[in-house]
Chains A and B, each alone.
Chain A
Amino acid sequence: MSDDIDAQIRAAQIARNKQSAEKASLVGSVSFDTDLYSEKGAAKFEGYSTSLPMNLDEEEDGDEGLENQTKKLSSYTAPRQILDEMASMGDDEVDPMADIRPSRKISDRESEYHARRLNRQLSPERVDAFSGKAASSEARSYGEVMREAELNREHAELQRKLQERQKEDDARRQQTDSSVDLQAQAQAQAKAAVERAKAAAASAATSTRKRRWDQEEKKSEWEEDDSTSASGAKSSKWDETPKADAPARKRNRWDETPVEASTSAWDATPRTDAGGVTPGGSKRSRWDETPVGVDQYAATPIGNLGLMTPVAGQAVPMTPEAANAMRWEKEIDYRNRYLSDEELDTMFPTEGYKILEPPATYMPIRTPARKLMATPTPMGQAGFMMQEEDRSQMYDVPPEIPGVGGLQFFKPEDMQHFGKLLDKKDELELSVEELKERKIMRTLLKIKNGTPPMRKTALRQITDKAREFGAGPLFNQILPLLMSPTLEDQERHLLVKVIDRILYKLDDLVRPYVHKILVVIEPLLIDEDYYARVEGREIISNLSKAAGLATMIATMRPDIDHVDEYVRNTTARAFSVVASALGIPALLPFLKAVCRSKKSWQARHTGIKIVQQIAILLGCAVLPHLKSLVDAIAHGLEDEQQKVRTITALAIAALAEAAAPYGIESFDIVLRPLWAGIKKHRGKGLAAFLKAIGCIIPLMDAEYANYYTKEVMIILIREFQSPDEEMKKIVLKVVKQCSATDGVEPQYIKEEILPEFFKHFWVRRMALDRRNYKQLVETTVELAQRVGVAEIVSKIVEDLKDESEPYRKMVMETIDKVVSELGTADIDQRLEVTLIDGVLYSFQEQTVEDVVMLNGFGTVVNSLGLRVKPYLQQICSTILWRLNNKSAKVRQQAADLISRIAIVMRTCGEEKLMGQLGVVLYEYLGEEYPEVLGSILRGLKSIVNVIGMGNMTPPIKDLLPRLTPILKNRHEKVQENCIDLVGRIADRGAEFVSAREWMRICFELLDMLKAHKKGIRRATVNTFGYIAKAIGPQDVLATLLNNLKVQERQNRVCTTVAIAIVAETCSPFTVLPALMNEYRVPELNVQNGVLKSLSFLFEYIGEMGKDYCYAVTPLLEDALMDRDLVHRQTACTTVKHMSLGVLGLGCEDALQHLLNHVWPNIFETSPHVINAVMEAIDGLRVALGPATLTHYVLQGLFHPARRVREIYWKIYNNLYIGAQDAIVAYYPRIEDDSRNTYERYDLDLMI
């Protein structure tokens, strides 16, 4: 039946098309190529997005393909087809760049410090003390965890002592061994004696203290740390407080207790400590009776068989290398695999042989754990294993996983987690738990490896069912995946997203798993990638909202004085996120307690670090709690531990920086200790204290600031000569902050600071380190603000001729910044000469073409203005010479320089010189490097802009024909500059060029509508307007109307905009007839294009629309009754723009008529259409007044059908919000009933 109707409709359409195709079109033949522009109904929405993306997630999920299309690097040049082809290349293609490209694996790029995350383990669940339910037997309580943390600490302490002793022994042995020489021996003995004496003294000193945790640190840690990091040990930017590098140990193989290697995650003896059942049994030798407790799989304890809760999925982590090896071996295995029964059948003759039954006692090994062992994984002590018995094990990646469907990829590493899905067990045999587990696995696999649509549905599924699945099964699968060493960014992002979504759903069910989640998420907080950090913060913030403050504190408390600095660092950051999520006041009592902890200095250190992180994270939001925060940490400045003092100073600095410029009164209590500290400390401690003072000084009022600056400056100047890089940076920053405060006199800066400052900081070495470089430039600019340009520039200008290029660059950047901020007014004649000389010299002497030099040159020349005239000849000859250079970069820079100084040349009246440059640039238009060509075009453009069309050499009529072919260039920079130049000429000097040439350009321009860059498309569309103005709209319009037939949506949209612009510039009456005639072409794209043009047209012409609305009404009427949704949608948009334009100009009758055609569309369900309809009605409400609309709306407000009521009330609400006061007069009369009065008698009053 339905086929029947369809067939009829199709027949009718064909007939109609035939008819209307006979009608004439203004633009010539309409017999469009049906091969290219198919008439199929399916194609009619092509290129339109059929739904509005309503939330961000959907957009970023669904449009991955689209994003690839739109987000292009600025220098992409390859044609689209090639790019598409490359994108569609299958996996079988070998990627030649694979070796060069940086790995996407997270583990491959992280530093040693970041890799320490792998040392952590997913601890068993915790008891949820607040749920009131009995915990499962495996969950651990707070008390247990705390006890274990203590044991760990003790353990670490013991190890350190053992190491110390061993080192001493080694040293002694060496001494005795190597001392053949008597003298040397004597010396060594003396030295040893001294050392022994020292040790004795130290132990005596410490033993009187009776503090068991500190004995070791006293001697070793802080001092040692200083020296190691000063000697170039790579310090990560994440460990604010310098961490103690684990001293390298030489292992004596006769040692009784094997000492564990704690740093290396993969190869070393596994750590068994934290997860073990009995703390005492943490160190097991492989001779232990039961092999259960042995960590078989190296240090990372995920999926650790020895844990009490075996993590589901039995994940066995592999190193990337091992994974590679496995991949390789798999290939070998594949070739040498056992033959299957079928293969054997085909090989052997069918007769004369008999297939024997396997003996009844034979049992193939099916246990998954052993199966896993069969694949070569880097496990040390597993012993001998039989190779591979199960034939069902796949060697190659399965094309399809049952119940999952086609994935984008399936890595061998995924096999470890998702292998279960492949064992082809009957679903009926499985228990409910197992089924659930598989279901989760499948969903996760879809999310991780699936296509965007698959991922989207799977994500929704897992969110909806989160509570059904339960927290345990979910996290037991997700978290091990996140700990996988071969994890990639994208995978991590997706998994983190899953956690985020299910957190909302699980709410308080999440409590037992908080620690597990934190172990996985905390490393994100110190990730190099900004977005990873934000993601981590979001998760922890949601987590703390779901679990509650008490759980968060109870869970993280044991980690606060963890032995590993990494754990403490990440925990502090996590706590700061908790504070931002739940509010500082909630956390404050806890913080106070921790910062005063007597038990261990680590706890105090971490507590204070939390405050620091809170300040960094929350910024000025700390202000209301500033006093209490400062009070909580103030005592740390006089702590006995150096590390605690340092972090306290840093925390105060962070607080002051966050609070600036308010809150000085809160810092009163720390000023004195800080002051005392500055005089007491040396080295890193001093740096931290200086930083704190430097951050507090800007908060003070002028008088105090002046006093403190003078006091602190003495120390600062002394530290100018410190060789320590960190100290240098801090000193520079403090100088910057101090000199920026009001109270400091320029005179003082000039006399006291500048001489020393230049002597110590303006040296070549400072230019080599990027952070030093930046800080120095910033500080110098700040100083220049106070003492003036001349003072600073005269001191460094000579260095523009320094022989070190990085140093010249630094000088140039400083001059650039100083001059652009302060101008060159107080630079005298002599300095001016030196400056220009230096700038020219450093510009010419560059070996690496750098934008810094170009900017500096441009800034100086522009700032000097008229004063640069004497030097212009010289500058121009430099430019000309460099334009001829062999290196493309040099040519490009020279052309760029022209565009920068064009305006100044004009100011100096050097038109002739510019003409010369113009000719030279014109000659170089044959340039083959697109980057250079783009710059040359930009140079030409700036010259044309400055000297005008009439005076341009070469004349415009020669220049433009040269530009036409360049428009074909596909390079974005070339396109952009070329279209700008052409548009400029079309705008100002169209008369210099023949109409024919302009038409030729029009055709070229059509292609540019395809450009990816919006700027280019906009410039193109505007250029159409200029050209139409110059040569009349007819020809341009014909070109544009023809272009409406192309398939590509972006192209059509731009064409419609161009038509509207042409109509606007050449008055609508020149364009409308042709445009409306084009509507008769029986093709969807064309008709929609016409409607869209009309829509833009009425938007642009506004009030002028009153002359045309009667003309277009029949067309709109037709469009509003069309079967095609897009017709009606676009017509509605047109009605909106038109009605808003003609408001109050007496076109109500036409609008009323259109309203009658718009109104039936209110029941549309497509979001685009209904949006357009609502907007049209809103527009008409404005133009026709609310009375009319009220009458329409009243018909359906109490309609029996809910669907009708819904939309009518929606329109009513819009009306009500838009014209609340006005519709008071138009409400219907409602008669009173026995109970209520509904009449509005106040409106019936008559005088």
Chain B
Amino acid sequence: MSSAVMNVNAQLEHLQSKHVGTGHADTNKFEWAVNQHRDTYASIIGHSSMLAYTAVAENESIGRKKFEMIEKMLQPCGPPVAKED
């Protein structure tokens, strides 16, 4: 692989790595899943109709659901898995 190719890859990767939630070849299941969950919660909170739907289904207030989801974003999949090298 020539250095130019490395450069292109490096540049794009650098650009991508600026965003939270992007992954790379060594991303494991846990990390990926955590991002999925956070995105899911963010998406539900962001679309008020989705949030209302969830609230109705669980018979909770919208505000509480929202609060819960934000709380759950901290460790959505439980304790982190040790990374294997």
Contact = CB atoms under 8 A, between A and B. Distances in A.
B61 interface: no
Given A1224-B40, A1236-B78, A1165 B1 contact: yes
Highest count of chain A CB atoms <10 Å: which of B25, B43, B76, B81: B25
A725 to B, nearest CB: 54
* Interface range, B side: 35 or more
A1237 B5 contact: no
B48 interface: no
A1236 B77 contact: yes
A1235 B56 contact: no
B44 interface: yes
Contact of A1209 (B2, B7, B24, B30): B24
B12 to A, nearest CB: 6
* Interface range, A side: 35 or more
Contacts of A1170: 5, 8
A693 B46 CA distance: 59
Contacts of A1246: 57
Highest count of chain A CB atoms <10 Å: which of B8, B16, B29, B39: B8
A1146 interface: no
Contacts of A1230: 29, 33, 36
A1217 B20 CA distance: 9
Given A54-B7, A1247-B53, A1240 B25 contact: no
B77 A1238 contact: yes
Given A52-B4, A54-B8, A1238-B77, A1221 B16 contact: no
A682 B7 CA distance: 63
A1165 B19 CA distance: 25
A1171 B9 CA distance: 10
Interface string A1180-1216: 0000000000000000011000100110011011101
B58 interface: yes
A437 B83 CA distance: 48
Contacts of A98: none
A136 interface: no
A1235 B81 CA distance: 9
A1123 to B, nearest CB: 20
B17 to A, nearest CB: 8
Contacts of A1171: 8
A962 to B, nearest CB: 51
A1230 B29 CA distance: 9
B54 A1238 contact: no
Q: Does more than half of chain B's interface fall in helix, strand or loop, or is it mixed?
A: helix
B8 to A, nearest CB: 4
A1166 B54 contact: no
Contacts of A52: 4, 7-8
A1193 B29 CA distance: 15
Given A1202-B25, A1242-B44, A1245-B58, A1167 B81 contact: no
Interface in B20-41: 21-25, 27, 29-30, 32-33, 36-37, 39-41
Nearest to B36: A1227
A54 B11 contact: yes
Given A1212-B23, A1221-B43, A1242 B54 contact: yes
B40 A1242 contact: yes
A1210 B16 contact: yes
Nearest to A1220: B39
A55 interface: yes
Interface string B41-77: 1111010000001101110000000000100000011
B11 to A, nearest CB: 7
A1224 B43 contact: yes
Nearest to B47: A1221
B57 to A, nearest CB: 4
Contact of A1210 (B12, B39, B46): B12
A738 B33 CA distance: 68
Contacts of A1167: 4-5, 7-8
A1221 B44 CA distance: 9
B79 A1216 contact: no
Contact of B25 (A1206, A1224, A1245): A1206
A1235 B37 CA distance: 16
19 contacts: A51-B2, A55-B7, A1166-B5, A1197-B27, A1198-B29, A1206-B9, A1206-B24, A1212-B23, A1214-B16, A1217-B22, A1224-B36, A1237-B78, A1238-B29, A1238-B77, A1240-B40, A1242-B40, A1242-B41, A1242-B44, A1243-B40
Closest 4 CB pairs of A and B: A54-B7, A1213-B16, A1205-B25, A51-B4
Given A1224-B43, A1235-B81, 7 more contacts: A51-B4, A1167-B8, A1213-B16, A1237-B77, A1242-B41, A1245-B58, A1246-B57
Interface of A: 51-52, 54-55, 1165-1167, 1170-1171, 1174, 1197-1198, 1202, 1205-1206, 1209-1210, 1212-1214, 1216-1217, 1220-1221, 1223-1224, 1227, 1230, 1235-1238, 1240, 1242-1243, 1245-1247
Interface of B: 1-2, 4-5, 7-9, 11-13, 16, 19, 21-25, 27, 29-30, 32-33, 36-37, 39-44, 46, 53-54, 56-58, 69, 76-79, 81
